[in-house]
């Protein structure tokens, strides 16, 4: 559920105070923050925040398109290593339906006799 409009966007007071001080002094430096829930306001544009993702700080440069979103949205917490399945060696063999012409003819002759043992 969204936050009430009459309350306004949530921004951690300490973070907002540091941004306003930096804007007043006209300086740009990286600010570390653990406040992933803070909403990006127009005052943040042009600053770089080091947002904690639970393990390390991810640098996030704020642009105009980020206004209204949360800082945590730009600092992923999970590492995607890819899906398992088809390996690179299988891709080199070719498509699944394509097989050499001699292989189907040789397959029935090479079939084992089974456990019957006649």
Alpha helices in the chain (DSSP H): 13-25, 88-93, 102-109
What is the Cα–Cα distance from 10 to 59, expressed in whole angstroms? 21
Q: What is the length of the chain?
A: 118
According to the model, what pLDDT value does residue 102 have?
57
Please report, rounded to a whole number, the percentage of residues in the chain having pLDDT higher than 70: 74
Please measure the distance between the N-terminal and C-terminal CA atoms of the chain and give it in whole angstroms.
73
Mean pLDDT of 30-49: 96
Residue 105 pLDDT > 60: no
2-16 pLDDT tens trace: 889 999 999 999 999
């Amino acid at each position: 559920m969204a936050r009430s409009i009459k309350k306004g966007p949530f921004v951690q007071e300490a973070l907002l105070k540091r941004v306003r001080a930096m804007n007043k002094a006209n300086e740009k430096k990286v600010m570390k923050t653990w406040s992933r829930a803070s909403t990006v306001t127009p005052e943040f544009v042009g600053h770089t925040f080091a947002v904690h993702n639970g393990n390390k700080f991810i640098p996030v440069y704020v642009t105009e398109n980020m206004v209204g979103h949360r800082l945590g949205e730009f600092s992923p917490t999970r590492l995607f290593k890819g899906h398992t399945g088809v390996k690179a060696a299988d891709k080199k063999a070719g498509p699944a339906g394509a097989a050499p012409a001699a292989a189907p003819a040789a397959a029935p002759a090479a079939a084992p006799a089974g456990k019957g043992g006649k």
